[in-house]
Amino acid sequence: QTVVTQEPSLTVSPGGTVTLTCASSTGAVTSSYMPNWFQQKPGQAPRTLIYRTSNKHSWTPARFSGSLLGGKAALTLSGVQPEDEAEYHCLLYYGGAWVFGGGTKLTVL
Amino acid sequence: QVQLVQSGAEVKKPGASVRVSCKASGYTFTTYYMHWVRQAPGQGLEWMGMINPTDGNTNYAQKFQGRVTMTRDTSTSTVYMDLSSLRSEDTAVYYCGREKAGGTFDYRGQGTLVTVSS
């Protein structure tokens, strides 16, 4: 069974930079896994921030960026704002099926 | 504007089935895949499967094979997710979300709470 692993929780100071990662039990994550990143705030539906590794939607704040880093998919927040406190979920493609990571709870403190 | 509007909350008994609908508007229905994702209380997101509205082809997560059926009605731009043999662990919010083929996820529905309780 394929497992996608994210950091359970991270804490960052306002204005700081933080990188969330997304690893696959099958090996290095490449662009063929088409990583997507979702942000979810309490009581809200998740919204997509990043698609296909590094592409942003029109609603994605410029401070969010996606990449591949050390064999993982990565989401970097630069100049973190208090409103970025949320759960972040990554999603990877496995040839016909998709698998979510367990999510990272980001605290801005 | 793109909208995915889901059906309302459901309460079901164990062993029953549930149907959740997702009505699309604001775009050409057959140009995007539709996925179903669920989130149990306090848990992460779980991908259930997807349907290609063009031809009705489906892919289901192995965990739900045999219990889930996804269908579509192109005349009303609606996709349906049927889940059978419900158990308490199926209590969750169910979301539909669209994908442009090639891994571009964008819009999603508002979510539908399904509660399974005796």
Q: Which one of A2, A9, A30, A51 makes the best mutation probe of the B interface by having the most chain B beta carbons within 10 Å?
A: A51
A84: pLDDT confidence band, cut at 50, 70 and 90? Answer: very high
Between CA A94 and CA B109 the distance in angstroms is: 24
pLDDT of res. B73 = 98
pLDDT digits (tens, 9 = 90+) for B42-61: 999 999 999 999 999 999 99
A36/B105 touch (CB, cutoff 8 Å), yes or no:
yes
pLDDT digits (tens, 9 = 90+) for B77-108: 999 999 999 999 999 999 999 999 899 999 99
A45/B37 touch (CB, cutoff 8 Å), yes or no:
no
A43: pLDDT confidence band, cut at 50, 70 and 90? Answer: very high
3-state secondary structure chain A: CCCEEECCEEEECCCCEEEEEEEECCECCCHHHCCEEEEECCCCCCEEEEECCCEECCCCCCCEEEEEECCEEEEEEECCCHHHCEEEEEEEECCCCEEECCCEEEEEC
